[in-house]
Amino acid sequence: PAEIQRRQAEAQPLVVINTASFQSGRDLLTRETRFYAVTGQVVNRDDSVLYGVQVTVTIYGFGNVVYDTTTVNIGRMNPSEIRAFSVRFSNFENVENVNRYECVATFQR
């Protein structure tokens, strides 16, 4: 089991964990939610330093329609380091139309 975990960490050293999403920022007059926020953490599971770490967050509507996407620059990550990220979206007609989100982490060695 330990060898399997080591191989997985070597093949995919950067992992996004503890993701969550919520609606925020109510309008004062209409009381409608104005923003959709996505939060999470990124972990370096490798034994080496990773450079240029970025997390691309995309929100989707019904039928896999892409509403918005943004990239969070994390930078350099040391071995076993954990960093948090948070993104706020407002590029949609109605926050209720947001169906799901996706977080993809990328890096350079």
Query: Tens place of pLDDT for every residue, the chain, 109 residues?
Result: 888 888 888 888 999 999 999 988 776 666 666 789 999 999 999 888 999 999 999 999 988 999 999 999 999 999 999 999 999 998 877 888 889 999 999 998 7
Nearest to 106 by CA among 84, 73, 80, 68: 73
pTM: 0.86
CA distances from 98 to 2, 50, 55, 87 (A): 39, 32, 19, 14
Q: How is residue 60 written in tokens?
A: 């989707």
Count of beta carbons in the 10 Å neighbourhood of residue 109: 9
The pLDDT assigned to 23 comes to 87
